[in-house]
Amino acid sequence: MTGLVNKRVLLGVSGGIAAYKTAYLARLLVKAGAEVRVVMTEGAKAFVQPLTFQALTGNPVHDRLLDDEAEAGMGHIELARWADLVFIAPASADLMARLASGMANDLLTTLCLATPAPVHLAPAMNQGMWQHPATQRNLSSLKALGYHLLAPAEGEQACGDQGPGRLPEPEELLEQIALFFQAPDQRCNAELPGRGLKITLTAGPTQEPLDPVRYLSNHSSGKMGFALAQAAAELGAKVHLIAGPVQLSTPPGVQRVDVVTAQEMLESCQQLQAQTDIFIACAAVADYRVESIADQKIKKQPGQQEMLLKLVENPDILATLATSQSSRPFCVGFAAETQAVEDYARRKLEKKNLDAIIANDVSDTRIGFGSDHNQVTFIYREKGEFYQEALPLASKIDLSRQLLLKIFKLYSKQDLTRS
């Protein structure tokens, strides 16, 4: 990431088991060319030794507010002025509470008050602590004070709980830092191509239950849809992301709605339809569901060698919105195919009355489900004619930016009236 060369990142580390991830983040930042200094709280040192960060960054670790050896005892001011960005990971519930109250009772909180640099927080804590009203109140206060907050990831936690509160992976944190340096003021830039647009996206798989413990689904990770949502927000759009069951953090500036089944996804899309300019259907929606969901776990019977399930068709979310008679948004679909990719995509575009479609070959292991990269063909129609453009292999976030610029340009040519 050339955009990080010579950038000065002050990494703040507060108490939490996730502090081990910050050590890897420090290594990634140094490899990317950034200059990194680390400030640790007393709680952080219970999980990771300062010597670890010193070895990874090549700089001494700072942990004392009153340090006689640091610029005549005013080292915190020097550090505050030095940083281009203060990035705190993990940000514990305690640290968030102290920052929200404006306290400066250790080196890290004092730096946050003294620095002219932006301060980004990556919270990590037990799911109960994260969802507690006090933490959510502090979250709102911090946003009002100008702190930038990254949503925590969901999943299994060190304590054994399941839920939101995990620190995102170091690679994701690195990407957020790189994004800041690429365009630190872009969300306030009135010249952004997506400014004023309202975009609704779907992402991830759906799950169709068979009984209380089983379901039908697919391998979609949701990464492409989340990358599109992130890129759309970067480009100035107001973004709603309707997500199936995935383990991904909500991109900054994106409003997320979590659903499970195809029917729930359709209902959420229809609720947002009247306030949507562009609808991008990236989710891998199950085509069928069982006709009747069993109330109890289905048991294998003695001697049973096969089981028959009666499936019924799920609603076609994209076609429903694309053929609606009122409040029809500009509709873009995805065609994830394993053969004759472009032919199938073009047929889908015609059959579902779409404005554009993005086709990709999921049989290619470099770009299949779960990959961080993709390679697609953008197909659209204009004045009755079909056009297509192949976009080469790239990271999903870079590809998303390219695709959205094409979609915005195509949308701007449409003489549509929207509320």
Q: Is position 318 annotated in a ligand binding site?
A: yes
- Tell me how far apart the alpha carbons of residues 8 and 37 are, in angstroms, rounded to a whole number: 8
Cis preceding-peptide flag for 168 (omega within 30 of 0): no
Distance of alpha carbon 133 from alpha carbon 154, whole angstroms: 18
Given a contact cutoff of 8 angstroms between Cβ atoms, the answer to whether 243 and 227 are in contact is no
The Cα 205–Cα 48 span in angstroms is 37
87 is in an annotated binding site: no
Tokens of 84: 């281009």
Main-chain phi, psi angles of 247, to 5 degrees: -110, 65
Give the separation between CA 25 and CA 132, rounded to whole angstroms: 28
Task: Check whether 348 is labelled as a binding-site residue.
Answer: yes
Report the C-alpha gap between 287 and 190 in whole angstroms.
41
Catalytic residue among 159, 188, 269, 282: 159
Q: Is 67 annotated as a binding residue?
A: no
Question: Among all chains, which residue has been given the structure tokens 């973004």?
Answer: 239
364 is known to lie in a ligand binding site:
no
Task: Give the type of residue at 241.
Answer: L
First-residue to last-residue Cα distance in the chain: 41
The Cα–Cα gap between 43 and 262 comes to: 45
Question: 176, 120 in Cβ contact below 8 A?
Answer: yes
Is 258 annotated as contributing to ligand binding? no
| Residue 352, phi then psi, degrees to nearest 5 | -95, 5
The first and second tokens of residue 417, run together, are 């009236």
Q: Check whether 355 is labelled as a binding-site residue.
A: no
331 tagged catalytic: no
Per the annotation, does 297 bind a ligand?
yes
383 labelled as ligand-binding? no
Indicate which residues carry an active-site annotation: 159
Residues comprising the binding site for CTP? 287, 297, 315-318, 334, 348, 352
Binding-site annotation: residue ranges: 287, 297, 315-318, 334, 348, 352
